[in-house]
Amino acid sequence: MTDPNFIILYVDNPSASADFYAGLLGKTPVESSPTFAMFVLASGLKLGLWSRHTVEPAAAAAGGGEIAFSVNDNDALHSQYADWVKRGLKIIQRPTEMEFGLTFVALDPDGHRLRVYAMPRQ
């Protein structure tokens, strides 16, 4: 078995979610259909957006999670925060100092948590 290389989020409207992530990530999906869209990130990680109405087997709502994005420092974090506020993302945690450093959390259109955190200085 290899390391995980593909994250799939169940979404209400794959086309709308693909538009959201295209703007957020600054890239277009490499695959797109009415029920699924996929992005390949620079790291090679794949992000899939699958219609919660067509996924098989049907998914039961359970648990929660978040996608975390790292930035180089606190200034970059504040810049990213300002950009996401300007884009209209729902912010559920303003920039906050936590034990691992400065962070904030927003939501995508389906309520998935998007965390941005500043990389700790070495």
CATH number, residue 76: 3.10.180.10
Enumerate the H helices of 1-122 as residue ranges: 14-25, 74-87
Helix (H, G, I), strand (E, B) or coil at 44: coil
Position 71 in a domain: yes
Count CA atoms closer than 13 A to 56's CA, side-chain side.
Answer: 2
Position 10 in a domain: yes
Q: Are residues 11 and 36 in the same domain?
A: yes
Q: Are residues 14 and 43 in the same domain?
A: yes
Q: Are residues 35 and 77 in the same domain?
A: no
Domain that holds residue 81: 66-118
Position 56 in a domain: no
Position 42 in a domain: yes
What are the residues facing 70 on neighbouring strands? 117
Is pTM, for the whole model, over 0.85? Answer: yes
- State pLDDT tens for residues 69-92: 999 999 999 999 999 999 999 999
All residues at 6 or more sequence positions from 112 whose CB lies less than 8 Å from its CB, including other chains: 9, 65, 66, 67
Position 26 in a domain: yes
- State pLDDT tens for residues 5-23: 999 999 999 999 999 999 9
- State pLDDT tens for residues 31-46: 999 999 999 999 999 9
Number of domains in the chain: 2
Position 80 in a domain: yes
Position 60 in a domain: no
Residue 121 has pLDDT above 80, yes or no: no
Position 79 in a domain: yes
- Largest interatomic CA distance in the chain: 45
Cα separation, 76 vs 64, in Å, equals 27
